[in-house]
Chain A
């Protein structure tokens, strides 16, 4: 590995560590406090319904607002926390990401072949998929999406396509250096109301 490539990997690892730390801080502080407020609001709504039915709609609105805020924050935390393979295989983790994305934007995941690659490569494919999906969910305006994992003679191929999109998510532009660290590449494209991203990484380092 060249010195520059080593420095790139160190920089990317540092960014991921900061994101992990931020996600943990948000989870340990604001998310817990918001959820506590939501529980109080739930109990308050029940009390208001019994004691003052005229105000029950207001109490229900307050509870719903706190629920939405808590769930939105939790969703953000899940995206911020860098995805890790841990004991699962890559396809299983990608399926989880697809499911997470589907809470906001329908996302179908397909993987038709057995995928085997160096652990570092699989970890990076997972992270690239997470960042790409997060950008898609947050900024593209897409209405449906599809995530595919495949293998060709060059290595792993991750494809993400979305229809109804109005813009290529800005996050996608930052994926190229990540793939390049492993000798891979990322291509993003935009057609009429659709965007696509293809990431190719060699299976072995």
Chain B
């Protein structure tokens, strides 16, 4: 049985990271849209529903934490934060902001796969 792909929004302002994440997710069979800024992400999330938001914390026009808090009803069902410095304080702040998980860069593909699987379970439960 082929599993239905996830609709994923990746918010990342680093070109190589965005390109590789997008490639990885698409090769894994998912439908991917990309945003480079918080403003682009807000516009994308208000325009279409997504099963998974994968957002960098440090963005050029704000933070991933601010992004999630500003979304209101457009907030996706499952959101995962990404950052280069995985302090306990950062992870805690991500949890408080509403992210389900905080991935530390460099992102372990196995850890990413776990989040994709969890996002899929969450979508299928809904």
Contact = CB atoms under 8 A, between A and B. Distances in A.
Nearest to B86: A78
A88 B93 CA distance: 12
Given A40-B23, A42-B24, A43-B23, A71 B85 contact: no
Contacts of A28: 14
A36 B20 contact: yes
Contacts of A81: 85
Interface in A64-84: 67, 70-71, 73-74, 77-78, 81
Contacts of B14: 28, 32
Contacts of A38: 106, 109
A165 B27 CA distance: 47
B126 interface: no
B87 interface: yes
A32 B105 contact: yes
Interface in B82-123: 84-85, 87-89, 104-109
Nearest to B105: A35
Nearest to B108: A67
A86 B105 contact: no
Given A42-B109, A70-B106, A77-B84, A88 B17 contact: no
Nearest to A45: B109
A19 B90 CA distance: 20
Contacts of A70: 106
A150 to B, nearest CB: 22
Contacts of A96: 87-88
Contact of A36 (B16, B27, B84): B16
Contacts of B19: 36
Contacts of A12: none
- Interface size class on chain A is 20 to 34
Contacts, number: 59
B87 A39 contact: no
Interface in A4-57: 27-28, 31-40, 42-43, 46
A205 interface: no
30 contacts: A27-B84, A28-B14, A31-B105, A31-B106, A32-B105, A34-B106, A35-B17, A35-B20, A35-B105, A36-B19, A38-B106, A39-B23, A39-B24, A39-B107, A40-B23, A40-B24, A42-B109, A43-B23, A43-B24, A43-B27, A67-B106, A70-B106, A73-B106, A74-B84, A74-B106, A78-B85, A81-B85, A86-B89, A87-B89, A96-B88
Given A42-B24, A42-B109, A96-B87, 13 more contacts: A32-B14, A32-B16, A32-B17, A35-B106, A36-B19, A38-B109, A39-B23, A43-B27, A67-B108, A70-B106, A74-B106, A86-B89, A88-B89
Interface of A: 27-28, 31-40, 42-43, 46, 67, 70-71, 73-74, 77-78, 81, 86-88, 92, 96
